[in-house]
A and B are shown apart, each in its own frame.
Chain A
Amino acid sequence: MDLKGEYRIAAPREHVWALINDPQALRECIPGCNSLEGSLEDGFTARVTTKIGPVKATFEGEVTLSNVIAPESYTISGAGKGGIAGFAKGGADVNLADVDGETILTYVAKAQVGGKLAQLGSRLIDSTAKKLADEFFASLAARAAPADPAVAAIETPAERPKARWFSR
Chain B
Amino acid sequence: MGSPLHKSTSGHGTAVLEKPEPAGLSPEMELVRDALFRHVGKPLPRKEDGRLITGKGRFSDDFSLPGQTFAAMVRSPYPHARILGIDTSEALASPGVLAVLTGADLLADGLEPIPHNPVPSTKFDVKLTAAGGGIPFTGPHYLLPVDKARHVGEAVAVVIAETAAQAADAAEKVFVDYEELPHVTETAKAALPGAPAVWDEVPNNVFIDSSFGDEAGTAAAFAAADHVVTAEFHIGRVTAVPIEPRSSLGHFDDETGRYTLYAGSGGAVRQKGELAKVLGIEPKNLRVLSYDVGGNFGARNRVYVEFGLVLWASKKIGRPVKYTATRSEAFLTDYQGRDLITKVELALDREGKFLAMRADNLSNVGGRCVSLSPLSKGSGLITGSYHIPVATLRARAVFTNTMCTQAYRSSGRPEVTYAIERLVEKAARELGFDKLELRRKNLVSPDMMPYTNAVGSIYDSGEYEKNMDRALELADWGGFEVRREEAAGRGKLLGRGFANYVESSIGSPKERAEIEIKQDGTVEVVIGTQPSGQGHETSFAQVVADMIQVPVEKVWIILGDTDIVSVGGGSHSGRSMRHAGTVMAMASADLLKEGRRRAAEHFGADFDAIDFESGHFKLRGTNQTIDIFTLGDLTREKDGPLRVARDNEMHTPVFPNGAAICEVEVDPETGHVLITSYATVDDVGRCINPLIVHGQTHGGIAQGVGQAMWELCAVDASSGQPLAGSFMDYGMPRSDNMPSFKCEIAEVISPTNPLGIKAGGEGGTTPALATVVNAVLDSLKDYGVTDIDMPVTPHAVWRAIHQSKGERDARAS
Q: Decide: B729 and A123 in contact? CB cutoff 8 A.
A: yes
Q: Is A116 an interface residue (CB 8 A)?
A: yes
Interface size on A, residues (CB 8 A): 17
- CB nearest to A58 among chain B residues: B172
Q: Decide: A114 and B721 in contact? CB cutoff 8 A.
A: yes
Q: Is A118 an interface residue (CB 8 A)?
A: yes
- CB nearest to A113 among chain B residues: B721
Stretch at the interface among A21-29, A38-46, A80-88, A133-141: A80-88
Q: Decide: B719 and A112 in contact? CB cutoff 8 A.
A: yes
Q: Decide: A116 and B171 in contact? CB cutoff 8 A.
A: no
Q: Decide: A166 and B726 in contact? CB cutoff 8 A.
A: no
- CB nearest to B730 among chain A residues: A119
Residues of chain A within 8 A (CB-CB) of B332 are 119
- In order of increasing CB-CB distance, the 8 nearest A-B pairs are A119-B725, A83-B172, A115-B77, A118-B721, A114-B77, A122-B723, A86-B77, A84-B172
- Give the complex CA separation of A168 and B715 in angstroms: 10
Residues of chain B within 8 A (CB-CB) of A116 are 77, 328, 725
Q: Is B59 an interface residue (CB 8 A)?
A: no
- Give the complex CA separation of A83 and B75 in angstroms: 10
Q: Is A120 an interface residue (CB 8 A)?
A: yes
Chain B residues 68-102 with CB under 8 Å of chain A are 75, 77-78
Q: Decide: A84 and B719 in contact? CB cutoff 8 A.
A: no
- Give the complex CA separation of A120 and B727 in angstroms: 9
Q: Decide: B331 and A118 in contact? CB cutoff 8 A.
A: no
Shortest CB–CB separation between residue B728 and chain A, in angstroms? 7
Residues of chain A within 8 A (CB-CB) of B721 are 113-115, 118-119, 122
- CB nearest to B721 among chain A residues: A118
Residues of chain A within 8 A (CB-CB) of B558 are none
Q: Decide: A84 and B728 in contact? CB cutoff 8 A.
A: no
Q: Decide: B714 and A168 in contact? CB cutoff 8 A.
A: yes
Binding site for A on B (CB under 8 A): 75, 77-78, 152, 168, 171-173, 328, 331-332, 714, 716, 719-726, 728-729, 795
Binding site for B on A (CB under 8 A): 83-84, 86-87, 112-116, 118-120, 122-123, 166-168
Q: Decide: A119 and B722 in contact? CB cutoff 8 A.
A: yes
Q: Can you list 15 pairs linking A and B with CB atoms under 8 Å apart?
A: A83-B171, A83-B172, A83-B173, A84-B172, A113-B721, A114-B152, A115-B75, A115-B152, A115-B721, A116-B725, A119-B328, A119-B331, A120-B726, A122-B716, A168-B723
Q: Decide: B729 and A87 in contact? CB cutoff 8 A.
A: no
- CB nearest to B74 among chain A residues: A84
Q: Decide: A118 and B173 in contact? CB cutoff 8 A.
A: no
- Give the complex CA separation of A123 and B795 in angstroms: 15
Shortest CB–CB separation between residue B543 and chain A, in angstroms? 44
Shortest CB–CB separation between residue A52 and chain B, in angstroms? 13
- Give the complex CA separation of A122 and B714 in angstroms: 11
- Give the complex CA separation of A147 and B331 in angstroms: 52
Given A83-B173, A114-B78, check contact A119 B719 (CB 8 Å).
Answer: no
Taking A83-B173, A119-B724, A119-B726 as known contacts, 5 extra A-B pairs with beta carbons closer than 8 A to each other, sorted by chain A number, are: A115-B152, A118-B716, A118-B725, A119-B729, A168-B795
Residues of chain A within 8 A (CB-CB) of B172 are 83-84
Residues of chain A within 8 A (CB-CB) of B716 are 118, 122
Residues of chain B within 8 A (CB-CB) of A84 are 75, 168, 171-172
Q: Decide: B152 and A120 in contact? CB cutoff 8 A.
A: no
Shortest CB–CB separation between residue B796 and chain A, in angstroms? 10
Given A118-B716, A119-B332, check contact A87 B723 (CB 8 Å).
Answer: no
- CB nearest to B798 among chain A residues: A166
Shortest CB–CB separation between residue B418 and chain A, in angstroms? 22
Shortest CB–CB separation between residue B589 and chain A, in angstroms? 54
Given A114-B152, A116-B725, A119-B721, check contact A87 B795 (CB 8 Å).
Answer: no
- CB nearest to A88 among chain B residues: B77
